[in-house]
Structure 1
Amino acid sequence: MDEELDLAFERTGKRSEPSESDLLHTSWQVPDFVITEYAPKTARYCIGIPVINEGDRIQTQLKTMHQLGLHQLADIVIADGGSRDGSVSDANLKPCHVRTLLTKTGSGKLSAQLRMFFAYALTQGYEGVVIIDGNNKDGVDAIPAFLEALSQGWDYVQGSRYIPGGIEENTPLIRKLSVKLIHAPVISLGAGFRYTDTTNGFRALSRQFLIDERVQPFRHIFDTYNLHYYLSVMAPQLGYRVKEIPVSRRYPNAGPTPSKIKGLKTHWSMLMQLFRAALGGYRPTSHHR
C-alpha cells in the first residue's frame, strides 16, 4: 500500500499543479488543486487547517501556533478552499513556518478540502494528521495532546469541549442544543461509541485508518460536511482505537459567528447527511482494487 502511495510531488517551493497520474492512487477521487511548498517534510505528523476567506482569524491563529513552537512538532499544511481575501498569501504563511499551501481549484466545500489534504498528507508519507479549523475558535495549545495520542497508537481522536478539562465560551445556544440533543446522540448510536462533541472539527486520524480499503474517504460523494460524520462513525465500527480529549472552543463576545454554515437549506442538508452517515449510507459498496 505505501509503495502505491509514494507519489512524486514537487518539493521546490514553487507553485505546481499535480498531474492525475502523480496524484491519484488507483481510483481516488480528489478535487483539482494547486500545491505551493515552502519547505521539505520534517515530521512524522502534519497539521491540516481548512480555510476559506478567514481574514485576520487565520493570521492570528498561525502566529499563536508559531509562538508555541508547534511547527517544530509537526508540519503545518493549509487546505484553502479558494480564498480571495489575501489571508493565505506567501507573506502571511512563510513567517509562521507553514510548510505547504494547498489551493483547491475544483468543486466542493469542506469535505473536498479534507480529501485534498488527506491525499497530500498520505502521499507525503505522514503517519497521521491533526485537523483544526482556521477561524481561531479552537485552543491550539491542545495540538500536542493530539500528536501524543497518535504516537501512542490511537487512530481517531475527537476533541471535545464537553468532557472534563474541556472549555466552551459564548457557544450559540442553538448550536449547543443541536450538538447535545441531536448530532452527538445520532453519531454515537451509529458508531457504537459515545461521542460528546461531534460537530467539533478539531480531531486527529491515523494513516492506517485513512488508507483502510473499508473506509475509502476519497470519493466525490464527500463534498460538504459529510466526511467528518462518516469518519466519526466508521472508526469505532471498524475496531480502531478511538477516544475524546478535552479542548477549548471560544466564540467571539460580539459580532458575527465565525462559521460557513448558514441558512435553513444548509442545515437541512446537514441533518440528512448526519442520518445517512449514522445509518451506514456512505459505506463503500466495493473495494477499489
Structure 2
Amino acid sequence: MIDYKDRGWEIPLHSINEFKSKSKDYCVCVPVINEGEKIKKQILRMSPFSEWVDIIILDGGSTDGSLNPDFLMKNGIRALLTKQDKGKLSAQLRMGFGFALQQGYKGIITVDGNGKDGVEAIPEFVRSMEQGFDFVQGSRYIPGGTEINTPLSRKLAIKIMHAPFLSLLSRHHYTDTTNGFRGHSSRFLLDHRLQPFRSIFDSYELLAYITVKAPRLGYKVKEIPVSRIYPEGKIPTKISPWKGNLLLIKILWRTMLGVYDPINHKDSGNNGLSS
C-alpha cells in the first residue's frame, strides 16, 4: 500500500468515511459540492455500475445535506471523502487520486457530480484502460458522442480555444478538453515526471496539465464518446462565463509556459514509481 505522506504528496486535509471495502480494480471519483438533488439522482444512475467500479464521492464541503451517509451506503457508494482545507476542483482531485492510489486501484475514472454526464459510459472507460490506455478522455464531439443544450459561450471556448490549444501543446488531437469525464491509469499518475500531488493545482489547472502531459510523456491516449446534457433554460452555474473563460485562458497560458511542470524532472524523489 502506498503511503502518500512518505512520498511528500501535498493533499488537502480531509475526512474519510468508508462504507465498504475495496472490491474492484477500478474506481470512479465524483467531485461535488452543494449539488442537491442533482447528485442524488446521479448516484441512483451510477449505482448499477458498482459491478464495474467502486464509487467514491469527493465532497468539497457541501452544506446542503445531499450527501447523507445512509443514502450513500444504501446506494453502493464505497467511500465519502470530505475536504476540510482550501482549494477547489484540483484539490478535490488530489484528495481522490491520493486515496485511490493508496488503496491500490489500477485506474481512476473521474466524472463531475452535477448530473450532466452520461454515466453509462463507465464500462467503456474500464475496458479502455484494461486494453492498455493510460489516459481516456470522454468527448461529446466525436462520433457516438452527444451534446444537448451546451451554452454557446462554452462550446465556442472549447472548439475555438481550449481543445486546439491543448492539442497543439500535447501534440495529440483532442476535441473536448474541458470535459471532466476521464480515465487515468495508476502508472501514469505515479510517474515521477508528472507529480500531480502539488498544491499549485487548486482550481482547474490539473485538468489541462494532465491532458498535455499524458501524450507528451509517451502514454497511450484516446477519446471515447460520451454524452453531456445541460438542462433547458438558464444554466445554473457557480462561476460566471466571463470569469470562467478568463480563468481558462490564464491556465492555458501558464500550461504553455511550463509553470505547472515539476522543477526537476530527473528527481524521482518520493513522488513516483521507484526504478
**TM-score, length of structure 1 as denominator length:** 0.90
Partner secondary structure for residue 87 of structure 1:
coil
- 1:171 Cα offset (Å): 0.4
Q: Aligned residue for 1:12?
A: none
Q: Structure 1, residues 119-171: CA drift from partner, whole Å, max 9, x if none?
A: 00000000000000001100000110001001111000000000000000000
One of 16, 40, 57 as aligned partner of 2:38: 57
- Counterpart pick for 1:126 among 105, 116, 123: 105
Task: Let me know the Cα RMSD of the aligned residues.
Answer: 1.2
Alpha-carbon distance between aligned partners in 2 of 1:25 and 1:83, rounded to the nearest angstrom? 30
Match in the other structure for 2:9: 28
Q: Does 98-107 or 277-286 show the bigger shift?
A: 277-286
The match for 2:202 among 211, 220, 223 is 223
Q: Distance in 1 between matches of 2:257 and 2:121?
A: 31
Alignment of 1:48 with 2:32, yes or no, is no
**2:63 equivalent in structure 1:** 84
Q: 1:197 aligns with which of 173, 176, 179?
A: 176
Q: For residue 105 of structure 1, what is the aligned residue in structure 2?
A: 84
Question: Aligned to 1:187, which of 159, 166, 175?
Answer: 166
Runs of at least 5 residues in structure 1 that lack an aligned partner in the other structure:
8-22
**Within 2, Cα distance between the matches of 1:188 and 1:266?**
20
3-state secondary structure, aligned to 1:50: strand
1:263 positional shift: 5.7
1:117 pairs with 2:96: yes
Equivalent residues in 2 for 1:1-289 (5 A)? 5=2, 7=3, 23-66=4-47, 69-257=48-236, 259-262=237-240, 264-286=242-264, 287=267, 289=269
Measured against aligned partners, the alpha-carbon deviations of 1:228-258 in whole angstroms (never above 9, x if no partner) come to 000000000000000000000000012433x
Quick check: 2:157–2:245 contact (8 Å CA) kept in 1? no
Q: Is the 2:153–2:241 contact (alpha carbons within 8 Å) kept by the matching residues of 1?
A: no
Q: Secondary structure at the match of 2:77?
A: coil
Task: Provide the C-alpha distance between the structure 1 equivalents of 2:125 and 2:203, rounded to a whole number of angstroms.
Answer: 24
- What is the aligned length? 267
- Offset at residue 260 of structure 1 (A): 3.1
Look up the SS of the partner of 2:136 in the other structure: strand
Query: 1:190 is matched by which residue type in structure 2?
Result: L
Please say if residues 213 and 288 of structure 1, whose CA atoms lie closer than 8 Å, have aligned partners that are also in contact.
yes
Counterpart Cα distance in 2 of 1:172 and 1:147:
30
Q: What do residues 199-253 of structure 1 show as CA deviations (whole Å, max 9, x unaligned)?
A: 1000000000000000000000000000000000000000000000000000001
Deviation at 1:264, TM superposition (A): 3.4
